[in-house]
Amino acid sequence: MNKPVLTERMQAIEDMVLPGLPVADIGTDHGIIPADILLKGICPFAVLTDINSGPLEKCRENLKAFGVDPSKFSILQGDGFDPVGDGGFGTVIAAGMGGELITGFFEETGWSVKRSAGEPLAKRFVLQPRTHADDLRSYLTEDEFRLCDYKLAKERGRICEVFAVEPCAAGQLRPDCGLVSEFLLQKNDPLIAEFIDGKIRKARRIAENASGSERPDAKYAAEIWNTVAGQLEEIRRNI
């Protein structure tokens, strides 16, 4: 029988899941992460969702090939948090999608602790945005969540950001909105230097492209991005 093989990124996601409670995996695609979670007995039940039917077919085949007990999961097609709107999850995972898309899931589906129905969708959200991770982190920690874990993990040579947030009361909010997460800096993640170096290179590249552009705001954009690069270099010097 086939066994799920987790990359370092997938393992980081799995490690942040709350054990003993149902899990939902939004945009599951291959279904490898929830399959492994079920096979290891970390969670008693999983809901696997995707907006597209093709990935869900693949996921169904994978779970069968891995020998996952069919009474322990359901597979639902739908957009974002829509298919799991009734809540009751320990953890909701949203991984491998753009940060703007994941932000939209939180904005659009009224999942929150403020829901009139009362119970939040999940005790914890484990998120791995492929893009705009800083915007998603700022948005959530300024609103209703506290950051409770954060890890950098490599996949195919690329550094991925995996973090977990939990709903909290307004008085417990600790916004984490810097160029690099305070949480990550304090944790001194093994990949932090390489991660910041990548951000510096990107900021310098954008500044250079802007300074070669004819656009009216090009000079201003170049200045902003050079300032960002300088601030990142300062952070890098202090780690």
Ligand X SMILES: C[S@@+](CC[C@H](N)C(=O)[O-])C[C@H]1O[C@@H](n2cnc3c(N)ncnc32)[C@H](O)[C@@H]1O
Burial 14-51 (b: 16+ CB within 10 A, else e): bebbbeebbbbbbbbbbbbbbbbbbbeebbebbbbbbb
Using CB under 6 A as the binding criterion, the count of chain residues that bind ligand X stands at 15
Least distance in angstroms from the C-beta of 62 to ligand X: 12
Partners of residue 77 on adjacent β-strands: 50
Of 111, 132, 133, nearest to 123 (Cα)?
111
Cα–Cα distance for residue pair 193/187, rounded to 1 Å: 12
**With contact defined as beta carbons under 8 Å apart, do 60 and 79 qualify?**
no
**Does residue number 92 form part of the binding site for ligand X (CB under 6 A)?**
no
User: Site mask, ligand X, residues 45-74, x = CB under 6 A?
Assistant: ----xxxx--x-------------------
Least distance in angstroms from the C-beta of 208 to ligand X: 30
**Does residue number 76 form part of the binding site for ligand X (CB under 6 A)?**
no
**With contact defined as beta carbons under 8 Å apart, do 80 and 104 qualify?**
yes
Specify the stretch interacting with ligand X by CB under 6 A; choose among 25-33, 35-43, 146-154, 226-234.
Answer: 25-33
Least distance in angstroms from the C-beta of 127 to ligand X: 10
**Does residue number 77 form part of the binding site for ligand X (CB under 6 A)?**
no
Query: For tokens 């953890």, what's the residue?
Result: 91
**Among 26, 75, 196, 203, interactor with ligand X by CB under 6 A:** 26
Query: For tokens 């954060």, what's the residue?
Result: 150
**Does residue number 120 form part of the binding site for ligand X (CB under 6 A)?**
no
Binding region for ligand X (CB under 6 A): 26-29, 49-52, 55, 79-80, 95-97, 101
